[in-house]
Structure 1
Amino acid sequence: MTLVDLTRELVSIPSHEDETAAGDFLEAWLRRETDADVTRDEIGNVIARKGTGDEALALVGHHDVVEPADSQVRGAEAGVGIGDEYAVEERDGRLYGRGTADMKGALAAALVAFRDVDPAGELVFASFVGEEVGGVGARHAIDDGFAPKYAIVGEGSTNYSGPDVTDVAVAHKGRRGSTITARGTAAHASEADAGENAIYRATAAVDRVRDLEPPLVDVAGETLEGRLTVTEIEGGSAMNVVPARCAFTVDERTVPGDRAALERVADIEGVEWTVDQNLPPMRCGDEAFAERVLEAANSAQDSDPQLVTKPHATDAGWLSQAGTECVIYGPSEPGEAHTDDESVSIDVLERCLETYRRVAKRWPAR
């Protein structure tokens, strides 16, 4: 089975609501094609290991995807067979279908590299569930003891520094989602002074959010800039009632290191701050590892790859937070993932496979 065939097979398996079938395929393929120690945990993560050593290298991906468009489901237009299989099409040197870019193409390349290489140290293949819903699988695996020293995460790093180049991302932003709730005392609007207006308290909190300075960090010659954005607001019960409650949400893009001092909103009387989601940022702290992957990436392509940063959170954030040194290297291009015409370049898939092989074959450095 070629890399393209393996990618097509993986992409065709629905995995936006239930990753079981995709996990079944991965587990069966690894048991058939390798002599690795293959495990499947209780939530569906598939992990395979071979070789021994103190500094394990993991090739990491995920087999869940976001919900496909009707055009990406075979038989959807005819109203039959919906959900049985995703549509996959090859044209103009690309594979089209839900999950081709994010990230079953990279997963297929990691599978083949894992199969083909006989490393001197320990090599790990890991595919997690639930990446698209907050890193459920990665967090579970980490809690269960998954702790490789190094990892290459196959999320997108292609066309960041220029066209037709697959770069090595050494840092990315995280995301913290918060709800700010202001509480007051209801009263009839004709006697507004008898109440305490929660909307007024909420607007004071919005002003405080706008006044906060998000942190900056310089990585690989780039500046990663945090950002705070008020995204939703809700409050009040009637036009003639002083509102007793008003809440708004904040989307915060975080950077490695400091966080914006969002907790200061809770200093306002009647205002509470709740963190709803906190996807950690990532930064590789091992320059030698990043350079080793960059050297392999350079050897696998005619272009001149660079060390770059990404704006999006990935499972690399959870691994990095747990102590794994991570880089990101994969075929997806900016703006390609989650789209109705999602696709991946076949040439870039082959490039990623060759890079994974080169790093793994020389692991650990001799």
Structure 2
Amino acid sequence: MDEHGTHPDGLRALTRELVSVPSHDDPTAAGDAVESWLREETDATVDRDEHGNVFGRVGDPDDPTLALVGHHDVVPPGDPQVATDDDGAETYVVEERDGRLYGRGSADMKGAVAAAMCAVRDADPDGVELCFASFVGEEVGGVGARAAIDDGFAPEYAVVAEGSTNYSADGVTDVVVAHKGRRASTLVARGENAHASVPEDGVNAVYRACDAVDAVRAMTFPETTVMGESVRGSVAVTEIDGGTAWNVVPDRCEVTIDERTVPGERAPLERAEAVEGVEWTVEQDLPPMACSDDAFADAVLSAARGVQSGRPEHVTKPHATDAGWLAEAGTACVVCGASEPGEAHTDTESVSYEVLDRCYRIYRAVAEGASGFA
């Protein structure tokens, strides 16, 4: 039992079930488990799209939609997280100790997916259609979320159940009102080969690349403020690759750049193209998120404060989630979930059962108090 009541019926068993299903190479089996549980345990209208995303809806479809959003794919497990069953099939190792569930995907984010599923089962939505959505491909650039949005998924509000626990203080589950995005790009500098004994006969692509790197180093990091919270991005050169031999002036050099973007701002990386022979190309752009509706963000924070003894706050998150894609498409988003900093993507990944109970109560309280913002 947590500080605000009994455990939600079946939440812990459901979490264990979902975490036990391998879903790093192929999320189909995990999607099957989510879909089957929703059909058997809830009154929701359940759909599975062609991409593998799973949806469950309750309430009046003519009302604004509040979505509880997660994903059931995971990153590849570490060696301690994998075992082989009697038939030689790969399974995930799932362990319970000290009030926590250990296993790949427990924190990121099958535990919170289970909490959202139970909330959809139990909530009586007030003034909204309540929609559960579990996407595929979040770990590889938001593939499922982007496909769902392209197909018309457009909730007015969304609580994305990624981690927000222990951000402002230990022992609290906060509400994220903004997070950074990530833009991955390359600078390719081109020159002309020559023998290194007569470098003046060529054009050194590495030198051009170094001039472009100097331009990047001089850039100010992007920064903004969301609901009084400061969000500061970053720009870093992370790889340089050029040249073919010690005695050849290189004709090509590639520079990799990691940029953490903030809502409404980008570093002016295109300026590096002012260096002769340099071309800038964006390889990936995961959008940042800023909550577009103060009343919604305040309502979720009020719900969070009502179900825990600590005092949660509006906070920001340092990395991208599917909330970025939804916000870019016009949904008012916050992030609120059980994962704690340092848990996701580790060989010792775990989630607190007490915090999962808390998240269930937050999600249910938001849905049942939605007439205050919808």
**TM-score tier (shorter):** over 0.9
**1:42 Cα deviation after fit:** 1.1
> Would the aligned equivalents of 2:112 and 2:356 in 1 still touch at CA under 8 Å?
yes
State the aligned residue count. Answer: 363
Q: Does 1:43 align with 2:43?
A: no
Q: Does 1:59 align with 2:65?
A: no
> Alignment RMSD, CA only?
1.4
| Matched residue, 2:343 | 336
Q: Does 1:93 align with 2:99?
A: yes
| Matched residue, 2:262 | 255
- Residue 322 of structure 2: which of 312, 315, 333 is its match? 315
| Matched residue, 2:240 | 233
**1:28 Cα deviation after fit:** 1.1
- SS of residue matched to 1:178: strand
Q: Counterparts of 1:85 and 1:167 in 2: how far apart (Å)?
A: 33
| Matched residue, 1:3 | 11
Unaligned segments of structure 2, at least 5 residues? 1-8
> Would the aligned equivalents of 1:56 and 1:150 in 2 still touch at CA under 8 Å?
yes
- SS of residue matched to 1:224: strand
- Residue 286 of structure 1: which of 272, 285, 293 is its match? 293
- SS of residue matched to 2:57: strand
**1:222 Cα deviation after fit:** 3.4
Residues 77-156 of structure 1 aligned to structure 2 (within 5 Å)? 84-120=90-126, 121-156=128-163
**1:81 Cα deviation after fit:** 5.8
**1:68 Cα deviation after fit:** 0.7
> Would the aligned equivalents of 1:74 and 1:81 in 2 still touch at CA under 8 Å?
no
**1:214 Cα deviation after fit:** 1.6
Cα distance 1:246–1:306, how it changes in 2: closer, same or farther (>3 A)? same
- Residue 36 of structure 2: which of 16, 28, 38 is its match? 28
**1:73 Cα deviation after fit:** 1.7
Q: Counterparts of 2:346 and 2:245 in 1: how far apart (Å)?
A: 40
| Matched residue, 2:81 | 72
| Matched residue, 2:6 | none
| Matched residue, 1:348 | 355
> Would the aligned equivalents of 2:177 and 2:291 in 1 still touch at CA under 8 Å?
yes
> Would the aligned equivalents of 1:157 and 1:329 in 2 still touch at CA under 8 Å?
yes
**1:362 Cα deviation after fit:** 2.1
Q: Counterparts of 2:84 and 2:371 in 1: how far apart (Å)?
A: 47
Q: Deviations over 1:268-311 (max 9, x none)?
A: 11100010110000000211001100111001100000000000
**1:215 Cα deviation after fit:** 1.5
Unaligned segments of structure 1, at least 5 residues? none
The sequence identity of aligned pairs, in percent, is: 65
Q: Deviations over 1:90-120 (max 9, x none)?
A: 1111111111100000000000000111324
| Matched residue, 2:211 | 204
| Matched residue, 1:295 | 302
**1:82 Cα deviation after fit:** 6.0
> Would the aligned equivalents of 2:227 and 2:294 in 1 still touch at CA under 8 Å?
no
